[in-house]
Amino acid sequence: MVFSVTEQPLRIAVASNFTPALKKLLVEFHHQTQIKTQLISGATGALFLQIKHGAPFDIFIAADSTRPEQLEQQELVLANSRKTYAFGQLALLSMNSTAQLSDLKAYSKKTPPRLAIANPDTAPYGKAAKQTLEYLGLWQHYKPKLIQGININQTFAQVRSQAVNSALVANSQLVLNNLSGAIIPSSYHQPIAQQLVIIKSSDNISKAKNLSDFLLSPTVQQKIISFGYANFNHHTLGELHD
């Protein structure tokens, strides 16, 4: 199908962790606005590089604040469009038993089992996983046993398929799939402040603003929290900058 200028879909570059939640939210967004959308999902770091090299995205829904801020500094995004739409939570998932935080620490004096995490260099949840293991003094201990996914969805798939028994994943993945695990205390890693930005070169800026406003609306914010994201009442969503 060839889209005319007026029918061009809104091209959304979205972090892997938020893709399942966004798909649910877009049902209501489509109903309200009749705006067609196209999702391009991946690791935040990989999407960031694509945007830097001119990929024709309209809005970037990242899993951190670092990459949106860098795009803002490079003047690649619409002024004042950088907003915090969610706070991610990291969780330990085990497919053989109900995961407990003590499971990670149990192997401090013996060889640990394989553990899946997302790539710390490109995926914010992978970075938080590395920070968590460093906080516990276990990074070097686990490092030889780590199975790194290119993004958090691949890591989640690895543990769901039982290719590996345990993984540090996004809590939203547990909630949306009716699984139970152990939420990692937020003090173990830097906050996962997830931000969005509108790409300055976009031909769909008004539609991108519609989506940004939709995601930041109080009703949708409550839905995002219900999907397993943190409720940080002491932060002002949409206005948190580093």
Cα–Cα distance for residue pair 42/40, rounded to 1 Å: 7
The first and second tokens of residue 202, run together, are 């976009």
**Quick one: pLDDT band at residue 233, thresholds 50, 70, 90?**
low
The answer, yes or no, to whether residue 101 has pLDDT greater than 90, is: no
From residue 208, how far is each of 60, 133, 212 by CA, in Å? Answer: 9, 37, 6
- The answer to whether the predicted template modeling score (pTM) of the entire model surpasses 0.75 is yes
Question: Whose structure tokens read 């293991």?
Answer: 133
Tell me the pLDDT tens digit for each residue of 168-210.
Answer: 999 999 999 999 999 999 999 999 999 999 999 999 999 999 9
> Predicted confidence band at 6 (pLDDT cuts at 50, 70, 90)?
low
- The average pLDDT across 47-58 equals 97
Sign of dihedral through CA atoms 79, 82, 83, 85? positive
Between residues 71 and 237, the one the model is more confident about: 71
The pLDDT of residue 60 is above 60: yes
